[in-house]
Structure 1
């Protein structure tokens, strides 16, 4: 009986310390490399739903809060063009605040032609690109992360 108890105690002493061992922390400086990696993200925005536009604004703010130095470009085309049209957007203040944080908003000139929108109708600070898909592909070629929203 004493032998069984001694064996059980020995087993507990040998096994449980490894089960409850704390996870080793990364060497000092390991996270610095991760944090210094420049984040570059291109968003593909083609949805006309204003609730989706609000969701995009929240997501962009979350990224800028977590990675203040992240480069972000939002490529707007198709049904989402109204997001950037001065008289039609529901996100004017949010876009302006994000632009102040460095987020770039670009409108597709092909979509603008189709919807008869002129550059002077876009929000201040919005730039244009000849074709949205071409811009997105070029960003991906340059190593930018891609998010379809």
Structure 2
């Protein structure tokens, strides 16, 4: 009987520990955008929104969108994505532009929405985030 009680106690302890670990699980995902195609940009922003609304991920996920190359189009003031981006930013999404792209294309930061953050290299950002354990998504 004593052994049975000890086994039950051990099982309950393991079960409680597993349940607590499940509640504390955090997810991190980095999305890459390197296309200026309207359909690709909108699909990427929609994919991020869908991830934020997934009940399994709510309040458990950190998302970064890194744009480089042609993806800079999504962050330009003269393009129609401000409202979509603002919604994502409000929900905690990190919106990051590659400074190499700006330099290579002679784009100044004033041409982009003021709520955008910057990284020296979009590819470098992807490499670093993946090494840190972030999931990589390229819609």
- If you compute each CA radius of gyration, which structure gives the higher value, 1 or 2? 1
Match of 1:144 in 2: 134
Q: Distance in 2 between matches of 1:60 and 1:35?
A: 22
* 1:73 paired to 2:64: yes
Q: Deviations over 1:89-141 (max 9, x none)?
A: 22110100000000011111111112211112111210111110001111111
Indicate the residue corresponding to 1:57 in structure 2.
Answer: 45
Taking a change above 3 Å as real, the CA distance of residues 36 and 109 of structure 1, as seen in their structure-2 partners, is: same
Q: Which residue of 2 aligns with 1:98?
A: 88
Q: For residues 35 and 53 of structure 1, do their structure 2 counterparts lie closer, same or farther at Cα, with a shift above 3 Å needed?
A: farther
**In structure 2, how many angstroms separate the alpha carbons of the residues matched to 1:95 and 1:80?**
13
Alpha-carbon RMSD: 1.7
- Counterpart of 2:124 (choices 126, 131, 134) is 134
2:110 to 107, 116, 120: 120
The residue number in structure 1 matching 2:6 is none
Give the aligned partner of residue 77 of structure 2.
86
**Structure 1 moving runs of 4+ over 4 Å:** 27-32
What is the distance in 1 between the residues matched to 2:136 and 2:41?
17
- How many aligned positions are there? 122
**1:90 and 1:35, CA in 2 relative to 1: closer, same or farther beyond 3 A?**
farther
Runs (5+) with no aligned partner, structure 1: 1-26
Q: TM-score, normalised by structure 1?
A: 0.75
Q: CA deviation at 1:32?
A: 5.3
| Contact 1:44/1:75 (<8 A) preserved | yes
